[in-house]
């Protein structure tokens, strides 16, 4: 009887598979509005300047205001159910004198080539008051910033979005929580991560055995250059 029970458990158990995904290199980048006289002009702008290298997230104030947002796309493989997921970004610079929290929200409106007028194109964007898009991650505070890899974990809403995007691409924006809540910065509150060549997502899926996904050949510690094509 015990042997039969063990056999049944072996046959019904669903193995967990981990995939390391590269970002969609053609559709990623940072956008910022800086050196403007008021916070409203920075936060509620409809056009911005594109970053030439890494992606920055946050806000700043030093006699003038700045708002930094980043947009990233990850192809999500089909099959199984995604039970965990996290973004892995290589740290480039921590410019914060005041720590802040990063929010991840959906941003399918900007897909698939980022342009300077995509600055307001994320879920729930609201001018003049708090944004209303669903936050897809557990809180990540810039106090945890590392010059190596930084991990931002998806929450239950984020996992729902990942599962809904299977076989397609998950498009997201990273913004400051102070940006989300329409709170003016009092100092520099932003960090910069390396370009899309060093952006990863790690997901765990249940219920499938498969060959590792074709967009994940590079281990997290491999920082060899990858060409980045950007559409501004």
Tell me: the pLDDT tens digits for 30-55?
999 999 999 999 999 999 999 766 89
pLDDT in tens, 154-203: 999 999 999 999 999 999 999 999 999 999 999 999 999 998 677 899 99
* Average pLDDT over every residue of 119-132: 98
**Backbone φ/ψ region at 207: left (φ over 0), alpha (ψ -120 to 50), beta:** left
CB of 97 closer than 8 Å to CB of 186 = no
3-state SS class at 193: strand
Confidence class for position 211, pLDDT limits 50, 70, 90: very low
Q: Is residue 52 part of a domain?
A: yes
In a domain, 211, yes or no: no
- Neighbour count for residue 13 (Cβ, 10 Å): 10
User: What is the reported pTM?
Assistant: 0.82
User: What is the dihedral sign for C-alpha 220, 25, 210, 10?
Assistant: positive
Decide if 27 is inside a domain: yes
Whether 169 maps to a domain, the answer reads yes
72-94 per-position pLDDT tens digit:
999 999 988 999 999 999 999 99
- What domain count does the chain have? 1
- The answer as to whether 106 is a domain residue is yes
């Amino acid at each position: 009887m015990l042997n039969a029970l063990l056999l049944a458990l072996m046959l019904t158990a669903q193995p967990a598979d981990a995939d390391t995904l590269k970002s969609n290199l053609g559709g990623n980048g940072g956008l910022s509005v800086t050196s403007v006289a008021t916070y409203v002009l920075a936060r509620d702008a409809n056009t911005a300047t594109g970053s030439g290298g890494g992606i920055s997230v946050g806000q700043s104030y030093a006699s003038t205001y700045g708002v930094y947002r980043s947009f990233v796309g990850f192809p999500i493989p089909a099959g199984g159910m995604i039970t965990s997921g996290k973004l892995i970004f290589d740290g480039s610079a921590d410019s914060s004198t005041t720590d802040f929290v990063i929010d991840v929200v959906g941003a399918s409106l900007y897909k698939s080539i980022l342009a300077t007028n995509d600055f307001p194109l994320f879920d729930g964007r609201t001018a003049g008051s708090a944004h209303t898009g669903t936050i897809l991650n557990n809180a990540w505070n810039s106090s945890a910033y590392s010059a190596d890899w930084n991990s931002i974990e998806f929450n239950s809403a984020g996992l729902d979005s990942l599962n809904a995007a299977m076989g397609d691409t998950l498009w997201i924006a990273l913004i400051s929580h102070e940006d989300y809540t329409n709170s003016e910065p009092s100092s520099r509150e932003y960090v910069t991560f390396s370009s899309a060549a060093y952006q990863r997502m790690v997901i765990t899926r249940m219920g499938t055995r498969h060959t590792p996904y074709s967009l994940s050949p590079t281990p997290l510690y491999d920082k060899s250059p990858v060409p980045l094509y950007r559409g501004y």
